[in-house]
Amino acid sequence: MVEEVANASPELQVDDVAGYTDPIILETALERLKYTDGSLSDTIETILSNYPDRLEKLFNDHEDAYVYDDAVRLLEACKKEGWQSGLLSGNVRKAAEIKLKRFGLWDSFEFGVFGDDARNREELVLVAKEAALEALGESFTHNRMVLVGDTAQDAIAARANGVRSLIVCRRSESRIAIENANPTWLVDSLEETERIILWLKAE
C-alpha cells in the first residue's frame, strides 16, 4: 500500500518493523521514500484505515501464516496458574484481530492494547496498565507485570516502565541487540514452559 501511494518500495528489512507499531513502520517507510505528495500523517491514517480489509483476505489465504506453538503453550500455562493475560501488539486492533482469529487465539486474552492506542511500545506498556484496570477491575502495578516478546524493542519498552521482560530470541542475528536491551530473562525458545513458570513465580 505504501508502494501504491509513493510509487516505490521502501525496501523495509526485519529490523525496520520488528517491535515497532504500525504507525511508526509506515512513517519510516514514507520518510525513507521522501514522500511529499501530501500530509504524512493523513497518508498514514488513510493507509491504516484501509489496510485491515486488504490484510484479512491476504493473511487468511496465505499458506505460510503460522503461530509459534511454544508461545501458545506458555499462554495456556499462565492461564492454568490463574494469571491474567493481555495482548500488547504494535498492529492496529483490527489487524491484530485478523491475525489471531485465524488461529483461534483472539479470545485468549482478557484485554489488549494496540498500535492505534499509542505511538510506540513504551507508551503501549503504560496504556496496558490502564487497560488492565478497566478490563479486570484490578490495579496492576508495573512490578506485577511481565512483558513476553521477541524483539529488543520489547525489552526496551519493559525496562523503560519498570516491567520485567521475558524475551525469546527467534533470530540469531538479533541476539546482540536483545542482550544490549537487558531483558530480565532471555531464552532461545519458550519450550521449557515449566522452568519459565518457576522463574515467574520466584520473582
For 99-111, write each residue's pLDDT tens digit: 999 999 999 999 9
For 56-67, write each residue's pLDDT tens digit: 999 999 999 999
Domains in the chain: ranges and CATH: 2-61 (no CATH), 69-202 (3.40.50.1000)
For 31-57, write each residue's pLDDT tens digit: 999 998 889 999 999 999 999 999 999
Report the pLDDT value the prediction gives residue 145, as an integer from 0 to 100: 94
Report the pLDDT value the prediction gives residue 203, as an integer from 0 to 100: 64
Determine the average pLDDT of the residues in 146-166.
96
On the question of pLDDT at 146 being above 70, the answer is yes
Answer for the pair 3, 9: CB distance below 8 angstroms, yes or no: yes
Task: pLDDT band for 2, please (50, 70, 90 cuts).
Answer: very high
Q: What is the mean pLDDT of the chain?
A: 95
**Long-range contacts formed by 14-18: CB under 8 A, 24+ apart:** 14/171, 18/150, 18/151, 18/153, 18/174
Q: What is the pTM of this model?
A: 0.92
